[in-house]
Structure 1
């Protein structure tokens, strides 16, 4: 390619860049609306205003980090990137420690605890768990993203993701309507497995952290291997 053609391409890119609309007015408008809603919620209920701020911060974090469970498993295979998967593993490690502290404190205050009294969602594990995982995983691939990724893309203006959101609403409604049936034939018959009941709290914590760290090491090794191969 001659230098004149290179210069022509540069000029074309500069023209395209100049034609792009500035996003600043939209950001100012969105911030103003968010602030007005916050003030309205503050006058109505203080907790709601706190939830509003937390929701905004979570949304901004997910949008800027491109957080998506589907992408975390898709990217290592398709593009060789494991940054999202490593981020999710780190989140699991942090949440493991956090839930350990919360649940251990609750049990320490009540040694004769019941599984239903422990903070968190302890649910039976069985064939319904595997079936749900397969269906949800297949849906993520078809939809191109998980629930959080879908909501982020809707906020970014991807109209097609509204179809996915409608699918979420319809599926959730049908699931709630027929939950008693599935609970009767599958869920209620499955055992609720709580590792501290079998191993104790500290061994369970060490085991889970060890498994997560091993997974992180494998994922990091895979990422570095692909990076080396890409530079060869």
Structure 2
């Protein structure tokens, strides 16, 4: 019986030739892009590595918010929190150095207002229906999911439309909102304490929620 089952299993195709061919194509495209700018190959290979990382980790902002509700799993939620914490370390170091030397603080300090809440709510609904955020959609496009191709098309349409009308939205709703940069309000050390304290609290909450769901099952 066991032998019959083994014989009926399809033998996995050897994908090594395809992988080697794809590697040759990637390197060739990198050399071609270097004709336009010396930095293009770096961007190209970094993008390839980022795509492989997303594919292997299944990293997706949508899943990090959706999985706790649907499945009770919070692994991606905690991964996103850790990623934000690591990014905070890097950005804080760069910005703090700029403040010490009297240079303009790098990065965009965007106004906070009702437009953020409305936009986040609409984007949240859209990415749940589409089954992925920007990074998740691009990853699944590469995997061949037809639904994500459709999502990508309308993602581009919406982005172009938003860029077209941005000159109306910006002065009407955005410019009048308050800009908050925590180091200016609290100081650098208290701002970092608040930032990492909130992230740690969210991480503990996510871990507790996951354990609670596991016990219920």
Per the normalisation by structure 2, the TM-score is 0.93
Q: 1:23 offset after TM fit, Å?
A: 2.8
* Alpha-carbon distance in structure 1 between the residues aligned to 2:65 and 2:199: 15
1:171 aligns with 2:150: no
1:225 aligns with 2:212: yes
* Alpha-carbon distance in structure 1 between the residues aligned to 2:164 and 2:119: 16
In the alignment, which of 9, 13, 38 is matched to residue 16 of structure 1?
9
1:62 aligns with 2:49: no
Q: Which has the higher mean CA deviation after the structures are superposed, 132-141 or 70-79?
A: 70-79
Q: Alpha carbons of 1:131 and 1:14: their partners in 2 closer, same or farther (altered >3 Å)?
A: farther
Alignment of 1:138-153 (within 5 A): 138-153=125-140
Question: Which residue of 1 is the match for residue 115 of structure 2?
Answer: 128
Deviation beyond 6 Å, 4+ runs, structure 1 = none
Contact preservation (8 Å) 2:115, 2:173: yes
Q: 1:135 offset after TM fit, Å?
A: 0.8
Deviations 1:103-136 (A, max 9, x none): 00011110xx6xxx32112111101101110110
Alignment of 1:83-232 (within 5 A): 83-110=75-102, 117-230=104-217
Q: 1:43 offset after TM fit, Å?
A: 4.9
Q: Any gaps of 5 or more consecutive residues in structure 2?
A: none
* Alpha-carbon distance in structure 2 between the residues aligned to 1:80 and 1:13: 35
Contact preservation (8 Å) 2:112, 2:177: yes
Q: Could you say what secondary structure the match of 1:119 adopts?
A: coil
Q: Alpha carbons of 1:100 and 1:171: their partners in 2 closer, same or farther (altered >3 Å)?
A: same
Q: 1:27 offset after TM fit, Å?
A: 1.7
Question: Which residue of 1 is the match for residue 69 of structure 2?
Answer: 77
Q: Matched residue pairs, number?
A: 217
Q: 1:14 offset after TM fit, Å?
A: 5.1
In the alignment, which of 32, 45, 67 is matched to residue 53 of structure 1?
45
Per the normalisation by structure 1, the TM-score is 0.88
Contact preservation (8 Å) 2:130, 2:147: no
Q: 1:13 offset after TM fit, Å?
A: 6.0
Contact preservation (8 Å) 2:182, 2:191: yes
Q: RMSD of the alignment, in Å?
A: 1.7
* Alpha-carbon distance in structure 2 between the residues aligned to 1:162 and 1:133: 22
* Alpha-carbon distance in structure 2 between the residues aligned to 1:34 and 1:148: 20
